[in-house]
């Protein structure tokens, strides 16, 4: 009977080896994946007992951990409340993390592999490991100015401002109204957190939504910048080229006609391209869109970033020229050329269009995090001068676009953005939305020269339809204020 016993001993060995192999898999090989599961209370508890690194703007914390004497050692605190909420995101025990709190979590919590040596040193010194810090690209004065300008609009108005450095892609300001107070979600009073969370999610104004990157809206006439760029690139036009003007654009064999906003005739049946942009002539750009064609226009939009998620680390949606697979008929193509029909863009996207033009045709990839530091402030990662997204225009055509946008501010529809002593280029947009929704007021612009350049996009969603909703009147002054704040700092 000894032979079977010996064989069974080997079988038992196999069983134990299987247990050990499996334990090794779970505790060593698969451990990182399991620890990264969002509902893993152990890891969250752990993070709550550690001093989480700060998120900084201009060297001042906009999110930091302060000592707390309740069930956890530290409380995540956002000194500015709602001002930076969509950028820092929230850090909640119950509802997890969002935005930079989430995307930079390994650094902030101190679990990043680059902080391994720090952790070992802390372990030996018997100190609690600390997280590293993250410095944002945001300019505090621009952010404050943008938020204040949006807040000054009639109550219930929603809107968003995005400011970019055209040469680096740094996000200098990003405001979405309405916002929320992340302190309410980071609280250790879980009952109150649940209430706050429910209230935020039930709010029809969607305060948790970052309108700058998540909400795509018809860009209206600001999209004419894309159509004009395509016309320059594809049709070899110049600002002086003659394009079709008049009061309406008709299509052979179809009853529909595309009119100008307000019923004007753009100053004649034959006008220059520059004139068309200055007066935001629907007829001219509808006609140009049909000449350029769907494919080339879509391609031009894609060069500015349409169809891509433009930013990493915060929630974002891609802007679109058409929905997937739509074949545009001529009238629809003309409507698309003036930023209507299915065209929908985020404010970030329209800021990138303005920035690409300002940066001589080169579109930079937008980024929000400038530097990442370890707890001893040694730099681990620096976004530096940014990363190129791609070239949207040749330098010559970019210069033409700049010139046309500048003249639009100096003598055209975008005059509300004029800043004395500064070169400012801009384009307004007043986009129609379906149903009874009030029109959207858009503004896309750039200002400054040389190294000191900024690009800003603004969208304002009024709560009620009034006669004075237009990009020039509502959005232009906000863009101007933000650009002034940026150029003076």
Partner 1 sequence: MSGTGETTWVPRKRRGAELVLTVMAVGLAIFAYCAVGLGAEGRVPAGAVGLAVTLVVVAVAANLLIRRFAPYADPVLLPLVLCLNGLGLAMIYRIDLGMEARRDSWTSLAPNQLMWTGIGVAAFATVLLVVRDHRRLQTLTYSFGLAAVVLLILPLLPGIGQNIRGARIWINLGPFSFQPGEAAKICLAIFFAGYLAEKREALALAGRRVLGVDLPRARDLGPIMIGWLVSIGILVLQRDLGSSLLFFGLFVVLLFIATERAGWIVVGGGLFALGTWFGYLQFSHVRRRFEAWQDPFGDPDQNGQIINALYGLAHGGLLGRGWGQGSPELTPIGYSDFIATSLGEELGLTGLMAILLIYGLIVERGLRIALTCRDAFGKLLAAGLAISMAIQVFVVVGGVTHLIPLTGLTTPFLSQGGSSIVMNWAIIAILLRISDQTRRPAPPVQPVSEDEATQVVKL
Q: Extract the tokens encoding 397.
A: 């055509």
Residue 128 vs 250, nearer CB to partner 1:
128
Residue 45 vs 203, nearer CB to partner 1:
45
Residue 30 vs 203, nearer CB to partner 1:
30
Residue 31 vs 465, nearer CB to partner 1:
31
Could you tell me the smallest distance in angstroms from the CB atom of residue 33 to partner 1?
8
Could you tell me the smallest distance in angstroms from the CB atom of residue 162 to partner 1?
37
Residue 39 vs 113, nearer CB to partner 1:
39
Residue 18 vs 199, nearer CB to partner 1:
18
Residue 1 vs 124, nearer CB to partner 1:
1
Could you tell me the smallest distance in angstroms from the CB atom of residue 415 to partner 1?
57
Measured on CA atoms in the order 271, 275, 277, 282, is the torsion positive or negative? Answer: negative
Could you tell me the smallest distance in angstroms from the CB atom of residue 68 to partner 1?
17
DSSP letter for each residue of 209-267 = S-TTTT--B--GGGGHHHHHHHHHHHH---TTSEEE-SSEEE-TT-S-EEEPGGG--TT
Could you tell me the smallest distance in angstroms from the CB atom of residue 16 to partner 1?
5
Other CB atoms within a 10 A radius of the CB of residue 88 amount to: 27
Q: Extract the tokens encoding 480.
A: 């101007």
User: Under the phi-then-psi rule, with left for phi > 0, alpha for psi from -120 to 50, and beta for the rest, what region is 151?
Assistant: alpha
Nearest to 180 by CA among 157, 159, 203: 203
Which residues, including other chains, have CB under 8 Å from residue 113's CB and lie 6 or more apart?
106
Q: Which residues bind partner 1 (CB under 8 A)?
A: 1-6, 8-9, 12-13, 15-16, 18-20, 22-24, 26-28, 30-35, 37, 39-43, 45-46
> Could you give the angle at which helices 224-235 and 395-411 cross, rounded to 10 degrees?
140
Residue 46 vs 342, nearer CB to partner 1:
46
What 8-state DSSP symbol labels residue 81?
A: G
* Stated length of the chain: 489
What 8-state DSSP symbol labels residue 51?
A: B
Could you tell me the smallest distance in angstroms from the CB atom of residue 30 to partner 1?
7
Nearest to 476 by CA among 419, 411, 438, 428: 428
Q: Extract the tokens encoding 428.
A: 């307004």
Residue 81 vs 96, nearer CB to partner 1:
96
Could you tell me the smallest distance in angstroms from the CB atom of residue 28 to partner 1?
6
C-alpha pair distances (Å), 276 with each of 65, 202, 273, 301: 54, 44, 5, 20
Residue 81 burial by Cβ neighbours in a 10 Å radius (0-12, 13-18, 19+): middle
How far is the C-alpha of 455 from the C-alpha of 424, rounded, in Å? 10
Could you tell me the smallest distance in angstroms from the CB atom of residue 108 to partner 1?
19
Other CB atoms within a 10 A radius of the CB of residue 194 amount to: 14
The most distant pair of C-alpha atoms in the chain lies apart, rounded to whole Å, by 109
Could you tell me the smallest distance in angstroms from the CB atom of residue 98 to partner 1?
20
User: Does residue 166 contact residue 105 with C-beta atoms inside 8 Å?
Assistant: no
User: Does residue 440 contact residue 218 with C-beta atoms inside 8 Å?
Assistant: yes
User: Does residue 104 contact residue 454 with C-beta atoms inside 8 Å?
Assistant: no
Q: Which amino acids are annotated catalytic?
A: 221
User: Does residue 349 contact residue 305 with C-beta atoms inside 8 Å?
Assistant: yes
User: Does residue 409 contact residue 415 with C-beta atoms inside 8 Å?
Assistant: yes
């Amino acid at each position: 009977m000894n032979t079977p016993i010996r064989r069974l001993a080997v079988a038992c060995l196999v069983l134990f080896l299987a247990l050990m192999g499996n334990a090794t898999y779970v505790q060593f090989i698969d451990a990182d994946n399991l620890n990264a599961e969002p509902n893993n209370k152990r890891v969250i508890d752990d993070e709550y007992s550690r001093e989480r690194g700060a998120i900084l703007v201009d060297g001042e914390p906009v999110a930091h951990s302060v000592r707390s004497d309740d069930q956890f050692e530290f409380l995540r605190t956002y000194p500015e409340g709602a001002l930076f909420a969509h950028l820092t995101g929230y850090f909640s025990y119950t509802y997890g993390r969002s935005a930079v709190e989430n995307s930079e979590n390994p650094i902030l919590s101190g679990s990043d592999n680059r902080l391994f040596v720090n952790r070992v040193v802390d372990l030996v010194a018997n100190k609690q490991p600390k997280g590293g810090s993250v410095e944002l690209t945001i300019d505090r004065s621009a952010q404050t100015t943008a938020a204040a300008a949006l807040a000054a609009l009639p109550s219930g108005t929603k809107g968003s401002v995005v400011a970019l450095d055209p040469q680096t892609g740094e996000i200098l300001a990003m405001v979405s109204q309405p916002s929320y107070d992340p302190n309410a979600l980071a609280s250790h009073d879980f009952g109150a957190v649940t209430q706050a969370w429910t209230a935020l999610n039930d709010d029809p104004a969607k305060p948790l939504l970052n309108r700058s990157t998540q909400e795509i809206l018809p860009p209206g006439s600001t999209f004419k910048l894309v159509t004009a760029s395509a016309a320059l690139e594809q049709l070899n036009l110049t600002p002086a080229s003659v394009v079709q003007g008049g009061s309406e654009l008709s299509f052979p064999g179809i009853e529909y006609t595309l009119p100008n906003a307000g019923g004007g005739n753009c100053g004649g049946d034959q006008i220059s391209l520059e004139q068309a942009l200055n007066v935001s002539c629907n007829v001219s750009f509808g006609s140009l869109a049909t000449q350029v064609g769907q494919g080339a226009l879509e391609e031009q939009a894609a060069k500015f970033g349409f169809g891509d998620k433009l930013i990493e680390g915060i929630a974002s949606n891609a802007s679109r020229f058409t929905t997937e697979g739509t074949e545009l008929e001529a009238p629809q193509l003309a409507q698309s050329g003036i930023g209507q029909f299915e065209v929908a863009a985020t404010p970030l996207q329209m800021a990138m269009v303005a920035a690409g033009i300002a940066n001589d045709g080169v579109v930079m990839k937008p980024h929000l995090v400038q530097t990442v530091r370890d707890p001893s402030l040694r730099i681990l990662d620096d976004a530096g001068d940014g990363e190129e997204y791609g070239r949207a225009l040749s330098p010559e055509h970019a210069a033409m676009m700049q010139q046309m946008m500048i003249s639009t501010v100096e003598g055209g529809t975008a005059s509300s953005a004029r800043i004395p002593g500064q070169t400012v280029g801009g384009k307004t947009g007043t986009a129609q939305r379906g149903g009874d929704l009030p029109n959207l007021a858009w503004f896309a612009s750039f200002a400054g020269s040389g190294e000191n350049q900024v690009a800003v996009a603004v969208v304002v969603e009024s709560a009620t339809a009034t006669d004075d909703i237009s990009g020039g009147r509502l959005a232009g002054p906000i863009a101007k204020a933000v650009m002034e704040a940026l150029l003076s700092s």
